[in-house]
Amino acid sequence: MALQVRATRMELLHLKRRVKLARRGHKLLKDKLDELMRQFKILIADYEGARAGLERELHGAYSRFLFARAAMHRESLLDALAYPGARAVVTTGTRRVMNLTLPVFKVALEGSVRNYGLFDTPPELDEALAVYRRVLPSIVHLAEQEKALSLIAREIDSTRRRVNALEFVLIPDYESAISRVKLKLSEMDRSNTTRLMKVKEMADAKRSI
């Protein structure tokens, strides 16, 4: 829908100021979008590499754990895992990227995951639990990255909509309104010139009588 504007020189001046401001805002938002995309690509590359490595380690740990479960009685396995000796403490913080507040998670491990006797447990159980302990910080870090990716992706989508609104709607509307006002003012100027010429002709005719 075209902007409804008055065909005055003051309105033309206001429109020119608005379109200049809109173009400046579009450039700032475009620069922001480019930087967000750059940060997103860096983060997604790091996330995908870390996730692939984590999945490989967990796959090996699952295999060892399944072997241990097959080698033990169910009651013995439950007893061995009933009283864990390790404790994980997760602390949270934030960091700033552009105008976004992204989460930071840190995990500290205390104690030992092996809180059972060695006599009736296979070594595969020790190995599996050792892997779980080692990769826990990586799991927490992946959760941090996933949340950051979600927030950045949402901000990218919002910024892209604003960029498109300025580029394809607001700025063209202002430019179209400026063209219409210029055309109308030009028509008014021509009309005034024609009227003045007729008045002059009439005045000249009266003087010649």
CATH number at residue 122: 1.10.287.3240
Quickly state the pLDDT bin for 209 (edges 50, 70, 90): low
**Count of domains in the chain?**
1
Share of the chain above pLDDT 90, in %: 45
pLDDT of residue 17: 94
Q: Identify whether 4 is part of a domain.
A: no
Q: Which two tokens stand for residue 26?
A: 């579009």
Q: What are phi and psi of 122, to 5 degrees?
A: -75, 155
Q: Identify whether 133 is part of a domain.
A: yes
Q: Identify whether 2 is part of a domain.
A: no
Q: Identify whether 206 is part of a domain.
A: no
Q: Identify whether 204 is part of a domain.
A: no
pLDDT greater than 80 at residue 13: yes
Query: With a threshold of 0.85, does the pTM exceed it?
Result: no
